[in-house]
């Protein structure tokens, strides 16, 4: 029996791991070590030459972290993957082999505020740039691509609004242009959406969120589909041209579907050092074991809370894609067949001040800059996560001043509704 024949619930418990060969330990041990003893000088040389797979130094690879990468890769249906220190690190790791000075990427306007800042400001220091486009307008996406474009980036379920992206439509545009499509699958998780099946080249995660599920550790992951032809053009020399640090090795020619993954380890993690620590990997491995169980409850609660909010006269609108009123409802069955997720926004009558009062009046909801916890979370994006954006960017991202974002947890939905009811009474009095 292979991983491809196993169901999701089985993979989330077993994929990428086996009992420890030395002790028989059933749970993946935390390999809390920086380095690994070589068998002999020849063994060390083979490892450093990428002629043999093994462990050298935990900045590159670690058995606990590797087990997590393998499990996420299996759940996403990818060829290979790596884990790193955060979701933001994962985004840079995904772009690093593709970009170069003067190159650009096409990014959705509906992205997490921190991603917008990273792409609009920070990557300029590398000589990269981003062009933000409404991904609901395929013609605009095509028009934004030029000879210097090296990637297209979007979110399967956009943070904060919960909007669902037509991954296949954008993947077709990327394919026609000979470009990789990178999908942030943090809000959806592979239980709700498997972007590779819709044509994505790379999938990134903030494992901090739903994958871990308990708000304990930060982490990121990049999964490669293994399907992109990096040698079809001269656009991606890091993967197709000789690598001076490895005696002229051509990663794609030598490693085929695993080229991106090995480059991310041998060059990306080696030189950028965005390493995930093994204890964080252990927490996330344990969290993933219950991913499908949690996501079912997240979705069930989100649907109930969203419907209640939409019917409340104190609310202007609710963006949950699972509502019949949502323009994205039709995409749920197509892109996220197991549900529209647990993340959405709603607008409070009374604007900015009412939103602040609402947040301050809640008792069960936690006011935190996070999502994907078992606990229900809330934040006023315009004054926090999206504060650095212009008013126009805030509106485009679905984070206007009258809007709050919620990440619905796995508590009793009636208790969550009661908490929102009492807080709205205070906020709109």
Give residue-wise pLDDT tens across range 267-309: 999 999 999 999 999 999 999 999 999 999 999 999 999 999 9
Tokens of 94: 């995904």
Is residue 383 exposed (0-12), middle (13-18) or buried (19+ Cβ within 10 Å)? middle
Buried b (16+ CB within 10 A) or exposed e, 111-136: bbbbbbbbbbeebeeeebbbbbbebb
Is residue 412 exposed (0-12), middle (13-18) or buried (19+ Cβ within 10 Å)? exposed
Tens-place pLDDT, residues 177-235: 999 999 999 999 999 999 999 999 999 999 999 999 999 999 999 999 999 999 999 99
- Please give the residue that has the higher pLDDT: either 247 or 252: 252
Q: How far from 44 is each of 41, 55, 245, 349, CA to CA, in Å?
A: 5, 9, 16, 65
The span from the CA of 382 to the CA of 255, in Å, is 45
The pairing of strands 315-318 and 377-379 is unpaired
Q: What angle do CA 223, 292, 280 make, to 5 degrees?
A: 55
pLDDT at residue 346 tops 50: yes
User: What number is the average pLDDT over the span 253-273?
Assistant: 97
pLDDT at residue 1 tops 50: no
The span from the CA of 183 to the CA of 321, in Å, is 18
10 Å Cβ neighbour count for 2? Answer: 5
The pLDDT, as a whole number, for residue 393 is 79
The pLDDT, as a whole number, for residue 101 is 98
The span from the CA of 274 to the CA of 322, in Å, is 36
Q: What would be the CATH architecture of the domain defined by 3-287? A: 3-Layer(aba) Sandwich (3.40)
Query: Tokens 């060969």 map to which residue?
Result: 21
- List the domain boundaries for the chain: 3-287, 291-427
The pLDDT, as a whole number, for residue 4 is 58
pLDDT band of residue 386 (cuts 50, 70, 90) is: confident
Tens-place pLDDT, residues 141-177: 999 999 999 999 999 999 988 999 999 999 999 999 9
- Share above pLDDT 90 across residues of the chain, in percent, rounded to a whole number: 88
User: What number is the average pLDDT over the span 337-353?
Assistant: 95
pLDDT at residue 73 tops 70: yes
- Please give the residue that has the higher pLDDT: either 21 or 208: 208
Query: Tokens 């470009």 map to which residue?
Result: 179
The pLDDT, as a whole number, for residue 240 is 98
Local structure of residue 157 (DSSP, 8 states) = B
The pLDDT, as a whole number, for residue 419 is 98
DSSP3 helix / strand / coil % (the chain, rounded to 5): 40, 15, 45
Q: What would be the CATH architecture of the domain defined by 291-427? A: Alpha-Beta Complex (3.90)
pLDDT at residue 41 tops 90: yes
What does the mean pLDDT of the chain come to? 95
Is residue 301 exposed (0-12), middle (13-18) or buried (19+ Cβ within 10 Å)? buried
pLDDT at residue 3 tops 60: no
8 A C-beta contact, residue 70 and residue 319: no
The pLDDT, as a whole number, for residue 160 is 86
pTM value?
0.95
Residue 277, phi-psi category: left (phi > 0), alpha (psi -120 to 50), beta (remainder): beta
């Amino acid at each position: 029996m292979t991983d491809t024949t196993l169901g999701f619930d089985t993979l989330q418990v077993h994929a990428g791991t086996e009992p420890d060969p030395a002790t028989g330990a059933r749970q993946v041990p935390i390999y809390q070590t920086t380095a690994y003893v070589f068998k002999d000088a020849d063994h060390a040389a083979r490892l450093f030459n990428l002629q043999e797979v093994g462990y050298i130094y935990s900045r590159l690879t670690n058995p606990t972290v590797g087990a997590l990468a393998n499990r996420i890769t299996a759940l996403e249906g990818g060829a290979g993957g790596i884990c790193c220190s955060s979701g933001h690190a994962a985004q840079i790791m995904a772009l690093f082999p593709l970009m170069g000075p003067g190159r650009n990427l096409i990014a959705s306007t509906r992205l997490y505020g921190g991603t917008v800042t990273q792409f609009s400001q920070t990557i300029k220091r590398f000589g990269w740039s981003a062009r933000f486009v409404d991904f609901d307008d395929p013609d605009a996406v095509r028009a934004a691509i030029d000879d210097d474009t090296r990637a297209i980036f979007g979110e399967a379920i956009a943070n904060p609004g919960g909007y669902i992206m037509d991954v296949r439509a954008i993947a077709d545009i990327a394919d026609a242009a000979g470009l990789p499509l990178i999908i942030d699958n943090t809000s959806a998780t592979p239980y709700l959406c498997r972007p590779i099946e819709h044509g994505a080249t790379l999938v990134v995660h903030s494992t901090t969120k739903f994958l871990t599920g308990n708000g304990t550790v930060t982490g990121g992951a990049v999964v490669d589909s293994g399907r992109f032809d990096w040698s079809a053009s001269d656009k991606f020399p890091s993967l197709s041209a000789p690598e001076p640090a490895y005696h002229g090795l051509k990663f794609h020619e030598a490693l085929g579907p695993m080229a991106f993954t090995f480059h991310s380890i041998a060059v990306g993690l080696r030189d950028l050092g965005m390493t995930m620590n093994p204890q964080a990997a252990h927490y996330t491995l344990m969290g993933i074991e219950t991913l499908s169980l949690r996501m079912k409850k997240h979705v069930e609660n989100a649907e109930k809370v969203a419907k209640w909010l939409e019917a409340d006269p104190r609310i202007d609108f609710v963006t949950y894609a699972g509502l019949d009123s949502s323009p994205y409802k039709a995409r749920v069955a197509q892109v996220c067949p197991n549900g529209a997720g647990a993340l959405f926004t709603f607008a409070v009558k009374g604007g900015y001040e009412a939103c602040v009062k609402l947040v301050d009046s809640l008792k069960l909801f936690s006011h935190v800059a996070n999502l994907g916890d078992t606990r229900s979370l809330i934040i006023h994006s315009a004054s926090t996560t999206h504060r650095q954006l212009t008013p126009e960017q805030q509106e485009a991202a679905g984070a206007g001043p009258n809007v709050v974002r919620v990440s619905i947890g796995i508590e009793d939905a009636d208790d969550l509704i009661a908490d929102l009811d009492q807080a709205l009474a205070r906020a709109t009095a």
